[in-house]
Structure 1
C-alpha cells in the first residue's frame, strides 16, 4: 500500500484508536508496582503516541503532498526512474503516458482536455526530468488545429511533487473551468518540480561545475515544449508560476529572462536563494552569481526587466508578508517592471492557501500572455 493510500491512513487511524481504547481498558490492571506493570504502562503510552503521530503525519501528508511515496519519504528518489529518451534524433521531449483531467466532465480530450506525462532532456544542459503537460480541450478541437497556444510553466515548492500540482492544487481542472467560463484564455500548463537534480535543491541556479538549472528553465524547457506542442515561441507567449521555492524561481526567471517569460507569479515566494543542507554550495565563491540570485540586489543594480510580476502573501500566517510589501514597493520604483499582488487576510504556507490564490493567478497570467 502506498504512502498516500486511504487504506494506509485508515489503518493508522484505526491503530491509534484501538491502542487508545486498549490503554484505557488495561490501565487499571497495570496500575500497580513492579517492572511488568511499569513496562506495560510505558509500552502502551509509547505505542499509542507513535500510532497517533503516524496517523496525524499521514493525514497531513495527504492534505499537503509533502511526500508521494515511501521511497520519497525515506530519501530514495524513485521519480528519476521515469523512462526518458536520450537519443537526439527522437527529440528532447517524449510522451510516456496520458491521463484524464481529474474532475473533467468527459474523458474525451476534445471535451475535458488531457494530461500527458512527459520526459524532457535539455539539449544544452542535458538535464533530464519528468513533467506533466495539461492540454486544454481546444487543443484537440478541429477548428483550432492551426492555432498556437500560450503556455505557463508551473513549479512546486521543495521537495514537492509534480503530481500534487495536478491532484492537490487542481491546476488543470481550475484552468479548464476558468476557460470554459470565459475568465481566461485556453493555456497549456507544464507542471513540474524545480528540483531537476534530486535530491539537491538547486534554487534554479546555474551552479558552477553542477546542474545548469536556470539555463534549463530559460532555454531548454521552452524549446523542448515548443518543438513538440503548438506553443508560441515569441516573447509574450510564455509565463511561469510557482509556490514557495517554485515562487522564488518564477520571479527570478521572469526578471532574468523577460524575453522568455513575459510574466512570473510567485505564491508565498521568498526573494533570496537560501544556502543550507539541501542546497549545498550554490555559488562556489562566484559573487556575481550570488548577487544575481538575490532579487533585492537585482532590482537595485540591474536594468529594470520589461516583465510582469505577481506576488502573494497573507497578513496572518505567512512569514514573507513584510518582505512582500517591501518587494512591491521596490518593483514599483523601477517604473518599467509591472507588479501585482494577492494579499489574504490570513492563510498559511500550505496547499489550502495556494488553492485560494490559483484562480486569480491564472486569470492574471492569461491576461498578460499573447492569445
Structure 2
C-alpha cells in the first residue's frame, strides 16, 4: 500500500471520523473528578490530535510527494539492484511510457512523450530511476537525425521525481514555451538528487559509499547520450549541449555539478538553492573525515579556491520568505570569468512549489539561450 495512494488517506479519515464520534459519545461519561476520568479525557484528546496530524501528514505527502513508501518515511534505504549484464549492455532501460499532460493531448508528434526509465551508471555502479521527456519535435518527420539539447532536472529532498511532472509541470511548461516560441525544444531528464531511495547523498561521492557525484557528473550524461539523440555535451573542449537545474537540495546539486563538472554541463540553475550540503540523519556521514572534500562541497569555498570553467549559472531567491538570500548574494559576488552568473530575486516567495512555478518558465528560457547552439 503506497504512501501516495488514496487508500491510507481514506483509512486515516475513516478512523478519525469514528474516533471523533466515539469521543462525543463517551465524553459525558468521563466528566467529573478523579484521576481515571481526567486520564481518560487526556487520552482521548491526545488520540484525536495524533489521528488529525497523521491525516494532515498524509494529505501533505500526497500533495508534495515527499515519500513514496513506508520504508522511505522510516529512513531506510532500499539498496540499488546489483549491476548485471543487461544493465551494462543497456545504459538506459525503458520501463514504460505515459502522456505528457499537454493541452489536448495527442500522439508523440503533437504532445511529446514521457518515458519512465532506469539509468545504469557505468562508473558509479548504481541503477537510478528517472523520467525522460521527449518533445514532439523529437518524433516529427524530417527530424530523424536531429539532436536536441538536454537538461537534467532535480527535485529537492525528500521528494519524488513525480513532483517534477505532477507538481511543477516541467513537461507542460517546456511544451508551452516552445509553442510560444520562447524556447527551443529540449529533452528533460527528471530525477531525484540522490542515488539511494532514502539517503540524501547530495551529489557527493561518499568514501566507501554511494558515488553520487560520479553518477550525476559523468555516468548520467553518457548513458542518456548513448540512448537518445542529444546534442553533444561538449565541442572543442567546452560544454555546450547540456544543462542541469533543480530546487532546494536539487538546486545545490545543479550548481555543484555545473561548477565542478564544466566538461559535462554548460549551465546550472539553482532555484532556492543551498550552497553547502546538509549533514543530518537523512544524509549520514558524507565525508568520513575527508576535510578536503568537505571544503570542496561548500560552493562558496569552491568559488574562492578552485578554477571556474566557462559555465553559466542562474540562481534565484526572494527578499522575503527565503533563507538563502545572503548566501545567494555571496555566490553572485564570487563568480568570476570565464564563468557567468545571472539571478532572479523575487519580492516575496517561500521555499515552496508556488515560488518555483513562477521561476521555472524564465529559467527554461535562460537555459534555452545557453545550450545546444552551434
1:127 match: 126
1:216 match: 215
1:264 match: 268
Distance 2:148 2:102 in 1: 23
Distance 1:172 1:258 in 2: 25
Aligned partner (choices 218, 238, 242) of residue 238 of structure 1: 242
Q: In structure 1, the residue corresponding to 2:142 is in which secondary structure?
A: helix
Q: Aligned pair in 2 of structure 1 residues 78, 140: CA closer, same or farther (>3 Å)?
A: farther
C-alpha deviations, 1:282-310, integer Å up to 9, x for none? 23333332222121111112222211101
**Number of residue pairs matched by the alignment:** 368
Aligned counterparts, 1:85-124, within 5 A: 86-87=85-86, 90-124=89-123
Q: In structure 2, the residue corresponding to 1:33 is in which secondary structure?
A: coil
C-alpha deviations, 1:151-196, integer Å up to 9, x for none? 0011112232112111212111111111122111111111111210
2:46 match: 46
Distance 2:322 2:48 in 1: 33
Structure 1 position 344 matched with structure 2 position 343: no
Check conservation: 1:85, 1:94, Cα contact below 8 A. Answer: no
Aligned partner (choices 266, 279, 282) of residue 286 of structure 2: 282
Distance 2:259 2:353 in 1: 26
Aligned counterparts, 1:48-197, within 5 A: 48-77=48-77, 80=80, 86-87=85-86, 90-197=89-196
Check conservation: 2:272, 2:351, Cα contact below 8 A. Answer: yes
**Aligned-pair CA distance for 1:35:** 5.6
Quick check: 159-168 or 29-38, which moved more? 29-38
1:322 match: 326
Check conservation: 1:255, 1:305, Cα contact below 8 A. Answer: yes
Quick check: 95-104 or 29-38, which moved more? 29-38
Quick check: 311-320 or 269-278, which moved more? 269-278
Q: In structure 1, the residue corresponding to 2:369 is in which secondary structure?
A: helix
Aligned counterparts, 1:26-45, within 5 A: 26-34=26-34, 37-45=37-45
Distance 2:325 2:123 in 1: 38
Distance 1:130 1:84 in 2: 14
Check conservation: 1:86, 1:92, Cα contact below 8 A. Answer: no
Q: Aligned pair in 2 of structure 1 residues 161, 86: CA closer, same or farther (>3 Å)?
A: farther
Aligned partner (choices 247, 252, 258) of residue 256 of structure 2: 252
**Aligned-pair CA distance for 1:311:** 0.9
Quick check: 250-259 or 296-305, which moved more? 296-305
Q: In structure 2, the residue corresponding to 1:228 is in which secondary structure?
A: coil
Distance 1:157 1:84 in 2: 26
**Aligned-pair CA distance for 1:85:** 5.9
Check conservation: 2:88, 2:120, Cα contact below 8 A. Answer: no
Structure 1 position 202 matched with structure 2 position 204: no
Distance 1:150 1:207 in 2: 30
Distance 1:158 1:166 in 2: 16
Q: In structure 1, the residue corresponding to 2:157 is in which secondary structure?
A: coil
Distance 1:240 1:128 in 2: 19
* TM-score, with structure 2 as normaliser: 0.90
Q: Aligned pair in 2 of structure 1 residues 14, 91: CA closer, same or farther (>3 Å)?
A: closer
**Aligned-pair CA distance for 1:227:** 0.6
Q: Aligned pair in 2 of structure 1 residues 70, 207: CA closer, same or farther (>3 Å)?
A: closer
Check conservation: 1:244, 1:266, Cα contact below 8 A. Answer: yes
Quick check: 89-98 or 137-146, which moved more? 89-98
**Aligned-pair CA distance for 1:20:** 4.1
Structure 1 position 12 matched with structure 2 position 8: no
**Aligned-pair CA distance for 1:48:** 1.4
Q: In structure 2, the residue corresponding to 1:368 is in which secondary structure?
A: coil
Distance 1:183 1:271 in 2: 30
Distance 2:60 2:76 in 1: 20
Distance 2:79 2:5 in 1: 18
**Aligned-pair CA distance for 1:25:** 5.4
Q: In structure 2, the residue corresponding to 1:325 is in which secondary structure?
A: helix
Could you tell me which runs of 5 or more consecutive residues in structure 1 were left unpaired when the two chains were aligned.
none
2:314 match: 310
